[in-house]
Amino acid sequence: MAEFRGVTTFKGQPVTLVGHEVKVGDVAPDFTVNRSLLETARLSDAKGSVVVLTSAPSVDTRVCSLQLHAFNRRASEIPGVKIWFITRDLPFALGRFCEAEGIRAVTTLSDFKDRDFGEKYGLHVKELGLLARSTFVVDAQGRVVFREIVPEITTEPDYDAALLAVKAAAGQ
């Protein structure tokens, strides 16, 4: 497993990302995450669709909450596109949060069990055991057309850049 240091920081301190580096133009690696303790989802389940994969450390933090709400609001601008918000939170916590906050346009998924997503996308933060904040856009052919690993984990992603990539991938 490769390690990358200096790609991102946490509160100004460099952290180590572990996994495989995924770049724009790559075929998006398939992965398994959890919808619930027993139900899984795979990227291949969304074959033929444009998919936004956005990851964050934990929905129970302010910036992660802002990120999920922002993608939920912007989902109406990109009809037909699937938005997957992935953290290491337990599925119970994600479900409770979405119910309380009215999140309906984004699918929340957990990488807690197999840590498959974090490793296949090089987003496992070694020092924290959490995912780095990132956004990937995968086109309908399964290619990565946008990638952002946020330089400072405690800041929000570039929603506008991601939305432009989504619209281009969706032919809008």
Model confidence pLDDT, tens digit, residues 83-111: 999 999 999 999 999 999 999 999 999 99
User: So which residues are the catalytic ones?
Assistant: 64
Number of domains in the chain: 1
Q: Find the range with the poorest average confidence among 2-11, 19-28, 96-105, 157-166.
A: 2-11
Question: What pTM value is reported for the model?
Answer: 0.96
Once rounded to an integer, what is the mean pLDDT over residues 151-170?
96
Sheet holding 82-87, edge to edge: 40-42, 32-34, 107-110, 82-87, 51-55, 134-138, 144-149
HSE-CB for 135 with a 13 A CA cutoff: 24
The CATH code of the domain that includes 157 is 3.40.30.10
Domain that residue 158 falls in: 3-169
pLDDT of residue 171: 85
CA 151 to chain centre: 15
